Chains A and B, each alone.
Chain A
Amino acid sequence: MAEIILKNVTKSFGQIEVIKGVDLLIKKGEFMVFVGPSGCGKSTMLRLISGLESITTGEMTFDGEVVNNVIPSKRGVAMVFQSYALYPHMNVYNNMAFGMKLAKSGTGDIKQRVEEAAKLLQIEHLLDRLPKQLSGGQRQRVAIGRAIVRDPRVFLFDEPLSNLDAALRVATRLEIAKLHHDMGDVTMIYVTHDQVEAMTLADRICVLRDGYVEQVGTPSELYEKPDSIFVAGFIGSPKMNFLEGEFADAFDCSTLGIRSEHIDFCDENPVWQGEVVHTEDVGSDNYIFVEIGSKEPLIVRSPGRKGSVYGMKVGLKPQDQHLHRFNREGRPIR
């Protein structure tokens, strides 16, 4: 419901500058994901938006209103913490109602909103329990429920899935996506270090690195037109292949990037030739590692169940339209 604009925002902790000048527009009702390696400042960004940390310089507005010095509760934000941060001595109902009770809402109103949220998240049967009697996934739902009850303008998620096991993570990811559809006009900001989470959830992704914004764009923009080697390498699994030296020279660039699915096997006039050194079978695909004399073996996707024999000589050819050429500064040549 809120449009958030950051203008040249910086944040320092003592001498250390963590956010080094960020300009960013987060649209109304958008699902924005902050992604980046650990220490890139993504959690700090979220905390700045929440108001838990104050920005050092720059300006932040919510719907045009400057919120630099507005306390968290007045910003209309709700946050889901990585550790859930449930009040351990209160049952689920009170955990969800605590914030509202203090806002002096009527008892009936509180009850109705808590029950609605509980129904949405299918935790109605857990309302009397204490957090310690819940599983990780259930705690996560309660934390989300507590945020929903606040009826926020902006929903903040700080790595909410990182404490869940793999299966639950996928299921909860789906529910968060569904929640975003159901809640329609609520702006959601989501922090993760997992690029798969970012790709699957986001309307737009903001890739951060060392306190700077590397690139902002939709998942497909980031995947297809990365603005730097860093983004190219960070987004996508398996990682994009990078070739340097004479391999790159042949394509008039400093670094040549090519994704595993954009390399074809070919026996006639191959561009590269090499020996299979390893095969990873992930079920739907085989990833074949081919030693062609570059720094790291080239990873090539072989669709379906078609395997490869260790030590086999193969010829490879990249798809020309999917080549990513980067200059010395790591920027794309287009």
Chain B
Amino acid sequence: MPEIPLVSTDAESTDATTTDFDDPVEEAALLASGIELGYGEEIVVDFDDLVIPEGEVTALVGPNGSGKSTLLKGLSAELEPASGSVLLNGRDVQQRPAKDLARELGLLDQENAAPGGLTVEDLATHGRYPHRGFLDPLTEDDREAVERAIDLAGVDHLRDTQLSELSGGQKQLAFVAMTLAQDTDVLLLDEPTTYLDLHHQLRVMEVVRTLNEERDVTVCVVLHDLQQAARFADYLVALDDGAVYDWGPPEDVVTEQLLADVFDVDAAVSFDREDDEPRIVPRRALD
């Protein structure tokens, strides 16, 4: 990746040099630079620069233990980097008050604790948490945002159902509704489809896609299914052992070389003429 000069936490002073992309720093919703992330002494993720472009869907892919989820924790300010910084729209995520950050950055986990007695609508309403003060009741805006979120997540028919009565897929869609009600410009998703059946996997990804297309929300999603990532994302970031192996549009990133180097899989990659989407046919695991 080209060198990107570090920018200060001030959004005005982002005068980056021109590189392969128009202006990666200017276009970046999230920019991680010189980052080292880990737990205690052990550093799991360590690389120079990563740009999550504004208004696009970016997928983080890589094998188990490559640091995808750790990187996401760094991006969401859940984990403080040992060095380097993560800038959200030019401002360091670590420096910002939690509520302030949560109005701009949403996070959806792969699996969520669901208190049984809660209805889907209650859960979606909790998504308004960062927009409400300690004693503020729901405003008209809050109610509208909750309605939009429930509608977009397609859980309208379940709104009065308790979470304990939902299937895993429906539950995840309910949590999607909660995250949507948060009304953020940037959305991080940590393997949102891992425990879901195919139908709900597609439902979740379609909601995310719609959100990106209709409301221009920047999405960064960790996926371990490379094929799914190639289908839904505009950009792929392939991680290998805590470092960025490659970055770019799926048709450039998904190669037989990548599958061999990063995933240790011998596979054939072909391109469908109609949609330019790479097709992966795995053959065998490499030692």
Note whether A and B form a binding pair: no
Which residues of B are interface residues toward A (Cβ below 8 A)?
none
